Amino acid sequence: MKICIYGSGAIGGYLGVRLHQAGAEVSLVARGAHLAAMRENGVTLLMGEEKTVVHPRCTDNPAELGPQDYVIIALKAHSVPGVVPAMQPLLGDDTAVVTAVNGIPYWYFHGTGGEFDGRTLETVDPGAVQWNGLGPQRAIGCVVYPATEVVEPGVIQHVYGDKFSLGEPDGSKSDRVVALSKAMEAGGLRAPVLDRIRDEIWLKLWGNLCFNPISALTHGTLEVICGDAETRAVAKAMMLEAKEIGDRLGVHFRVDVERRINGAAAVGAHKTSMLQDLERGRPMEIDPLLSVVQEMGRMVGVPTPTIDVVLALVKQRGETAGCYSRPQATAVPASAREVAAAQ
């Protein structure tokens, strides 16, 4: 089994070590000092008192690798469209693309049937670059739950979690998704195959879309945001707006709002990824976590007044810090079918 992990930072490197241990032929695409360290010393994974070092193939040039069975995208979601051209040598006729990214993926409306079937989302896939360049038929959904960190180039610290939920857009238990699940489980990961992967995507997004931007604006931890009555109310209002959108799209939320907020509070004094990015001067994942929810709300006719206000504020916060740039508007047809017809 040939697996390329495109974006081999904290999560991608962790996955790479585990899949390499399971016997897969793993290649890691990375860059800079991290890539140099992995080439020279291997990839080091620290888990508690345990230290593991493996030596998969590491490169910054995907053209060296050739077609893969699986390409696992483990980049920040907003950076994916820009590397679609570089991914092309990895894509054979039967290559699956596993979207281990936060937020709503580019393939979300693939095979859904009904009014929005084939619809592309400008906020996460400007100009339908991923839809046309990777193809929705290749996609396998993946919801990432572990927390990991690159503590120095080539060295990854595992913080908690081992679950990567997988699912085909059509809900089937295909041979390719089952085989990937077995390979991940052989590496010591939990990789359940779900028949409603969109529900799982929304469950994680439900917290990210509110806690991330609120934390970036207030610098509060999850414990503080959920424990303060006023910021908790803002988070709840955003979540209720998002739930109405999800309900219109047929999403099933298996927990209620209060339980989801209490679950976040139980994590304690944790800084969200968006706050960490802001503090470190790195690009913030605003569009795949929040702008896309606003876009989907407009699609289904659900007002999002609280989301609109928080989104406007966090965009400006990101811009003033040099951590966010508004996407250039592009005139794209509403659906992939119309894109194809126009070509």
Domain of 316: which CATH number? 1.10.1040.10
Are 309 and 227 within one domain?
yes
Q: 327 in a domain, yes or no?
A: no
Are 6 and 100 within one domain?
yes
Are 270 and 307 within one domain?
yes
Number of domains observed in the structure of the chain: 2
pLDDT > 70? residue 330: no
What pLDDT sits at residue 29? Answer: 97
User: Last residue of some domain: 148, 180, 195?
Assistant: 195
pLDDT tier at 326, thresholds 50, 70, 90: confident
The tally of CA atoms less than 13 A away on the side-chain side of residue 88 is 6
Are 173 and 226 within one domain?
no
Catalytic residue among 163, 173, 182, 204: 204
Give me the CATH number covering residue 64.
3.40.50.720
pLDDT tens per residue, range 215-274: 999 999 999 999 999 999 999 999 999 999 999 999 999 999 999 999 999 988 889 999
Are 113 and 41 within one domain?
yes
Q: Which residue has the higher pLDDT, 46 or 335?
A: 46
Are 155 and 210 within one domain?
no
> What letter would DSSP give residue 242?
H
Query: Crossing angle of helices 197-218/273-280, nearest 10°?
Result: 40
pLDDT tier at 156, thresholds 50, 70, 90: very high
- The size of the chain, in residues, is 343
The tally of CA atoms less than 13 A away on the side-chain side of residue 311 is 19
Verify whether residue 204 is a known catalytic residue: yes
In whole angstroms, give the CA distance from residue 197 to residue 194.
6
Mean pLDDT, to the nearest integer, of 75-99? 96
Mean pLDDT, to the nearest integer, of 168-187? 97
pLDDT tier at 327, thresholds 50, 70, 90: confident
